[in-house]
Chains A and B, each alone.
Chain A
Amino acid sequence: MSAHGMPAPAGRDAAAGWMQNPVRLVVEQASYAYSASDRDAPDFTLGPATFSARQREVVGILGPNASGKSTLLRLLSGEFKPLSGRVELDGKPPSQLPLRERAQRIAMVHQESTLMFPLRVWEYVLQGRYPYGRRLRFENEGDCLMVENALAQVGAKQLLDRRMDQLSGGEGQRVILARALAQQPMLLLLDEPTQHLDIGGKVELMRRLRKLAEENRYTVVVVTHELNLAAEFFDSIVLVQRGKCLASGKPADVYRRELLEQAFETELDVEMNASGKPRVVLRGDAETEIAEGDAETPEKN
């Protein structure tokens, strides 16, 4: 139930690119538990999770609220060290990399930044250059070029001199993404990036992630509630429920009725659309798409 045996190369450059595109991110039987001491909440454990990803692949971590999605993401980011099992990025456990070296390889995109003092967009994106050079450093022209490129890649070049606190939700989201790009990572992690976006913004973001994975050879891992968008745009899915990794693999393999019903504790149906991508609908009411999870209650972990 937990794993899929051979990770099949997903996406367009299937069998041919196999050899030149080795597995980049390996998660094998990785588990984690919060100790009771620094938390009020009862112990939370994340059971062994297993999956892997190559460059140019986009992986979605799906599951109900408080199921351990964000914990899994933090295992990948190296912020948490797995209690058992292993997490490896290009053969090295992220939690053992020196912090700055880690930040050159892994970029975490948070939902939003709460700034105490208003920054300009370029100042914010320049922060992504921190892992490079000395600790107390001044940015050079190369860094500025990187900022312009990063903003161009997310279609936000015109925002360069705007103030962060005057951006709309979608604009802010793109700038936060641009800072991650300025880190020049190989692994891009996103924690519910679609939360404050309307449907148009969501689709645009998914397309952009796909494109970034392709052009910059990122491996992208996204925690999201968007079942159907994930099936449409992602190469593989990791399904988590109550701290257990229920399944992982290609969307068509993971989106099985019993599995999804077990995970979300809701009566669901899975249809295949014309292009062979699964689509999740409410059982008995095929018109209603389960487009989002419970957006009101933010995830605990």
Chain B
Amino acid sequence: MRPLTPRRIVAICALLTGVLFVVVVFSLQVGAYPISVGDVAMTLVRGALGHWNSIPSSDRLIVFGLRLPRIALGILVGAALSVSGASFQALLRNPLADPYVLGVSSGAALGAILALVWLPQFPWAMQGLAFLGALATIAAVYFLGRRKGQLDSTTLLLAGIISASFLSAIIMFLMTTVSGRDLRGMAFWLMGDLGTAPAIGLGFLFVVLLIGIGAIYTTSSDLNLILTGEQEAHHLGVNVPRVKLVVYVSASLLTGLAVSVSGAIGYVGLLIPHVMRMLFGSDYRVLIPASAIGGAIAVALADTLARTVVAPTELPVGAVTAAIGAPVFIYLLRRRFA
């Protein structure tokens, strides 16, 4: 018997943060204009100390102007998607749940596009409508996924996949009619891309994501019990409706925010919680923070690949996550329903 302690959680998070740091440095180095580790380190240290003038201007521009903001965006998006995937998995009691597979990301993308069309003058309208789109989609999928009043895991996944494809069709329609066959825009929303700097500040994004993840974290003991069954959780003293409300809203917020700045990046929310479970166990008190950092690592790394494998041009990051994620999804699906 070895109950989870806060100390172990801190140790795991420290370990993962170390890995994330290595990934960040690696990602800062590679690209069309490679920079050596030493130069990256020097640039970071000098930047941190405020000695801007001592950094060669090209390094300064590439590290602080281009690569670091993009990596930071990837980190935030990855953490958000991964935590919301872990949350949906607990609430729906389905290990294959993920904001992308469930269509929630497509709903958020549609919301963001509608904001672009209707309310282009309001900077936060995109985030707001993306959040509402995510919330509406998960509600719809939840009700479509029920059979005889019971949540059915296969029906749920089908409902999600069909919703995603329906919403994608509407997105295509809007992108074609409103912005005149904007193919790059379509790729951004449907596949996910980190190549566009968001209109909202990274600092704001960070704070709101932290609030969302924090809200979910406060329910992590409850989620552990809900995983063994809602009725059992109820009899053990969990206020199941309240927990579900908090987590559905927070997870939709995370997905909505992530999608509003990066489009619908798939499979991060599915794979990362699984890997973290294999490494550190399925206790949500460690799974939530581990998934957050793990998701950050995964998207930062995937985007580095997206930038470099077909250089000098770029892939959307969602193409990389899907290329890796889809086969693993099939593997998990077959193992589960075999």
Contact = CB atoms under 8 A, between A and B. Distances in A.
A143 B5 CA distance: 13
B335 interface: no
B221 A103 contact: no
A113 B149 contact: no
Interface of B: 1, 3-6, 89, 93-95, 148-149, 217-222, 224-225, 227-229, 231-232, 234-239, 277, 282-283, 285
A139 B6 CA distance: 10
A40 B232 contact: no
A119 B224 CA distance: 10
A222 to B, nearest CB: 16
Given A110-B231, A131-B236, A122 B1 contact: yes
A14 to B, nearest CB: 33
A79 B234 CA distance: 8
A127 interface: yes
B252 to A, nearest CB: 21
A47 interface: no
B149 A39 contact: yes
Given A130-B225, A136-B285, A144-B3, A103 B232 contact: no
B243 to A, nearest CB: 9
A128 interface: yes
A106 B4 CA distance: 26
A128 B3 contact: no
Contact of A127 (B4, B228, B277): B228
Contacts of A246: none
B228 A115 contact: yes
Nearest to B218: A136
A116 B232 contact: no
A100 B237 CA distance: 4
A117 B227 contact: yes
Interface in A73-125: 77, 79, 99-104, 106-108, 110, 113-117, 119-120, 122-124
B218 A135 contact: yes
Interface of B (DSSP majority class): loop
Contacts of B218: 135-136
Given A117-B227, A130-B237, A136 B220 contact: yes
10 contacts: A110-B235, A116-B95, A116-B227, A116-B228, A117-B95, A130-B236, A131-B237, A136-B217, A138-B4, A160-B1
Contacts of A40: 148-149
A178 interface: no
Contacts of B239: 99
Given A39-B149, A115-B227, A115-B228, A143 B3 contact: yes
Interface residues of A, number: 42
List the 3 shortest-distance A-B pairs measured between CB atoms, nearest first.
Answer: A103-B237, A100-B237, A117-B282
A147 B224 CA distance: 17
B71 to A, nearest CB: 31
A77 B1 CA distance: 30
A161 interface: yes
B221 A137 contact: yes
A43 to B, nearest CB: 15
Contacts of A143: 3
A102 B227 CA distance: 20
B277 to A, nearest CB: 6
Contacts of A161: 1
B235 A103 contact: yes
A183 B3 CA distance: 17
A136 B95 contact: no
A72 interface: no
A138 B227 contact: no
Contacts of B277: 117
Interface in A15-41: 38-40
Contacts of A154: none
Contacts of A130: 221, 225, 236-238
B98 to A, nearest CB: 15
Nearest to A126: B3
Nearest to A164: B228
A96 B198 CA distance: 50
A230 B236 CA distance: 27
The residue in A100, A117, A135, A143 that gathers the most chain B C-beta atoms within 10 A of its C-beta is A117
B236 A138 contact: no
Nearest to A117: B282
Nearest to A161: B1
Contacts of B89: 116
A284 B149 CA distance: 44
Nearest to B148: A40
